[in-house]
Amino acid sequence: MSRKESPLRQLTIRGFGRDLERVLRDRARREGISLNKAVVRMLEEAAGLRPPSSGRGGDIGPALDALAGTWSAAETRSFKQAVADFEQLDPDLWS
């Protein structure tokens, strides 16, 4: 394997703030991976070299953030009525 292809290439990153460090450490802890692996994954995702990770908690990231808190009270009631049937359990399925 040539030096260019070596998986052990190194970079030193300086000048990042505490907020970024916290995000990196949180991701490493949440996914059960090393800090280095978390950084590499985030860089690959940002560069478009891998799809964004959903993490271990089923976290979908900020994909739906724009929708959070946008329903009116009437829309919320309508939605709850529409999905109410899904709250019912069929006892025959559990016996």
In a domain, 79, yes or no: no
In a domain, 73, yes or no: no
The total domain count for the chain is: 1
- Token readout for 45 is 């995702």
Three-class SS of residue 38?
A: helix
In a domain, 85, yes or no: no
Q: What is the mean pLDDT of residues 58-83?
A: 80
- Token readout for 34 is 């090393």
In a domain, 4, yes or no: no
The pLDDT value recorded for residue 27 is 92
In a domain, 47, yes or no: yes
Is pTM beyond 0.85? Reply is no
- In angstroms, the CA 46 to CA 54 distance is 14
Q: What is the mean pLDDT of residues 40-67?
A: 75
Domain that holds residue 20: 9-56
In a domain, 28, yes or no: yes
Per residue in 14-52, pLDDT (tens digit) is 998 999 999 999 999 998 899 999 999 999 999 988 888
Average pLDDT, the chain: 82
Residue with tokens 């460090």: 21
The DSSP output letter for 14 is: -
Which parts of the chain fold into alpha helices (H)?
Answer: 18-31, 35-46, 73-83
